[in-house]
């Protein structure tokens, strides 16, 4: 199981991902993007969006815990 390190999330955690308009979308934390620092970006993570059948790399600052 992949750990989220400084993010506090672990693989499989249900999360909210905030888009550029401030809307939140449900997702599942997959893991940290270990290569983010190589390209000068801030910390980021992989998040899957099961309902949309897609995944994306997002800034860790756009991810919050989702309770159901």
Residue 49's CATH number: 2.30.30.140
Identify which has the larger pLDDT, 54 or 34.
Answer: 54
Q: Mean of the per-residue pLDDT values for the chain?
A: 86
pLDDT digits (tens, 9 = 90+) for 1-17: 445 556 789 999 999 99
pLDDT digits (tens, 9 = 90+) for 20-53: 999 999 999 999 988 766 666 788 999 999 888 9
C-alpha to C-alpha distance for 49 and 14, rounded to whole angstroms: 10
Number of compact structural domains in the chain: 1
* Residues contacting residue 61 through CB under 8 Å, at least 6 positions apart: 42, 43
Domain range for 11 is 5-65
Q: Can you give the pLDDT at residue 42?
A: 84
Contact at 8 Å (CB) between 15 and 9?
yes
* Residues contacting residue 33 through CB under 8 Å, at least 6 positions apart: 43, 44, 45, 46, 57
């Amino acid at each position: 199981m992949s750990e989220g390190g400084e993010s506090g999330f672990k693989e499989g955690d249900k999360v909210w991902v905030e888009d550029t308009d401030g809307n939140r979308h449900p997702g599942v934390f997959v893991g940290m993007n270990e290569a983010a620092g190589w390209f000068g970006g801030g910390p980021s993570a992989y998040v899957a969006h099961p309902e949309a059948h897609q995944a994306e790399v997002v800034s860790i600052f756009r991810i919050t815990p989702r309770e159901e």
